[in-house]
Amino acid sequence: MRLGNYSIRGRVALFTGAAVGALCVVFSTVLLFAINRMATQNLTKEVTAVGELAAYYVDRGEIVNPLPPISQDLIRPVQVVDPRGQVVAATKDLQHQPVMAHFSPKGPQRVASAVVCDSVFAAGRCHIVVAQHVYRNGDWTIYSAAPALPFYVYPSVAALLIGGAVIFTIAVAYGSRHTVTSSLRPVNAIRAQLDHIRSSNLGRRVPVPAAQDEIYLLAQSVNQTLDRLEDVLEQQRRFCSDASHELRSPITAIRAQMEDALLAPEDIELAGLCNAVLPSVERLQSIASNLLTLTRLDAGLPCERRAVDLAELIAKELKNHRMSRKVVQRLTPGVTVMGDQSRLGELIGNLVQNAQRYASSTVTVTLWCGDGDPAADPRFPGGVAELEVLDDGAGIAADQRETVFRRFTRLDTARSRDAGGVGLGLPIARQIAESHGGTLTIQDSDRGARFVVRLPLFS
């Protein structure tokens, strides 16, 4: 997997190596500082001890010039300065040299130290100088010195830290790259599988790793997305097939009638031909209108919403429809919802047309208000408007109550094309109800089919 000009593995290795390298530099610097400070303290103690030995000889009056070294392996520059400020004794390397320093301990301290550069030492060299007071017929000062340590203390220590930092950085970068490579292996497998998935083989799924980590969750989400995509495409295929089938029937009828008219034009009356073709045209118009409505609902296009009095809207829809069955209205006035009046009118019209198509003699339309239960259904916190459309026909079996809401679905011969339905009215009605935050279901009844619409009240 690549991100920009570098792969993810390369970037992780680069960033990790840079971070570890920076940490190693900081750690090495702090460690060298600590080592330098400890070594300087030890060296200062050593120089102080050398000066104390010279102070012992001064205190006993046993001053010799040149001063003897403390040992053959430990030779430190030492000077003895009398109360007049004259150098009266020194080690061999400081014979005939002026005083190496010009500071002295401040009372009540007997010992003081400082770093002195140049002076009697080699140019560009700095020494740690320790001054000690000795009282013998006046204040005598003993100066002892040793070369100051560099920041890196010893070259071997600096080389060890630099080499260790480089090796550690390389090891961590390599380990990070290897770890990321192993972690991304399932991702590569998922990507490779996705590259091979086409519309013709949507049943394939990406591999799910055994380790239940973030990649495991990613693989599950991808498979769930593929499941939804497969369902959508299957619905689309079925919808296209059903729509083609529904459109083919009236088109075939129109073609047959037109061909008959062309074969024997002298035997065909224009009015009779128009009357024969008009039902098929009306059917095509109905199908096209329903398909357009479904397209708008599926696209979620916004609509104008305002307060709608359902009782007035139902009465208006019933008045505008030519009813072939007796209609009983039980409408509670003042039931108001927020929604699109034209779409709600289409919902009511579809339910009424469906009911009168399959009713034996009577269709009952009932409207009332109910108290919403936010705990049971949070969609109706301020109350619910319930619309019931009941017919006295054959009814719908319990196991088929969801099937009728599928597009282009007709359950049996009683609900056939001859009855005028194309299987889109009820799916459209349910989508309109759901787009208004409500529901459309089929409830139990003693006889016939009982459709119940529940919409949130407008308060």
The helix or strand, by DSSP H or E, that contains position 337, with its residue range, turns out to be: strand 336-339
User: What is the b/e burial string over 240-276, where b = at least 16 CB atoms within 10 angstroms of the residue's CB?
Assistant: eebbeebbeebeebbeebeeebeeeeeebeeeeeeeb
**CA–CA separation, 94 and 100 (whole Å):** 9
pLDDT over 80 (residue 309) = yes
Q: Please tell me the class of the 306-456 domain.
A: alpha beta
Confidence (pLDDT) at 17 = 74
Q: Taking all residues of the chain, what is their mean pLDDT, rounded to a whole number?
A: 82
**CA–CA separation, 419 and 338 (whole Å):** 34
Nearest to 344 by CA among 380, 381, 387: 387
**CA–CA separation, 21 and 27 (whole Å):** 10
Highest-confidence segment of 134-138, 275-279, 297-301: 275-279
The helix or strand, by DSSP H or E, that contains position 51, with its residue range, turns out to be: helix 8-59
Is residue 452 a contact partner of residue 388, using CB atoms and an 8 Å limit?
A: yes
In this predicted model, what pLDDT tens digit does every residue of 156-198 receive, in sequence order?
877 888 888 888 888 888 887 777 777 778 888 888 888 888 7
pLDDT over 50 (residue 103) = yes
**CA–CA separation, 243 and 422 (whole Å):** 9
Q: Residue 245 has which token pair?
A: 């089938």
The vertex-429 CA angle with 385 and 362, nearest 5°, equals 75
Q: Residue 77 has which token pair?
A: 């520059």
pLDDT over 80 (residue 406) = yes
Is residue 423 a contact partner of residue 409, using CB atoms and an 8 Å limit?
A: yes
Confidence (pLDDT) at 182 = 79
Per-residue pLDDT band at 413 (split at 50, 70, 90)? very low
Q: Residue 45 has which token pair?
A: 């103690």
CATH 3.30.450 for the 9-147 domain, yes or no = yes
3 state SS of 180: helix
- pLDDT > 70: what percent of the chain? 91
Confidence (pLDDT) at 3 = 43
Residue 24 makes CB contacts below 8 A (sequence gap 6+) with 164, 165, 168, 169
What residue spans of 339-407 are helical by DSSP H? 341-358
Per-residue pLDDT band at 348 (split at 50, 70, 90)? very high
**CA–CA separation, 341 and 29 (whole Å):** 77
pLDDT over 70 (residue 6) = no
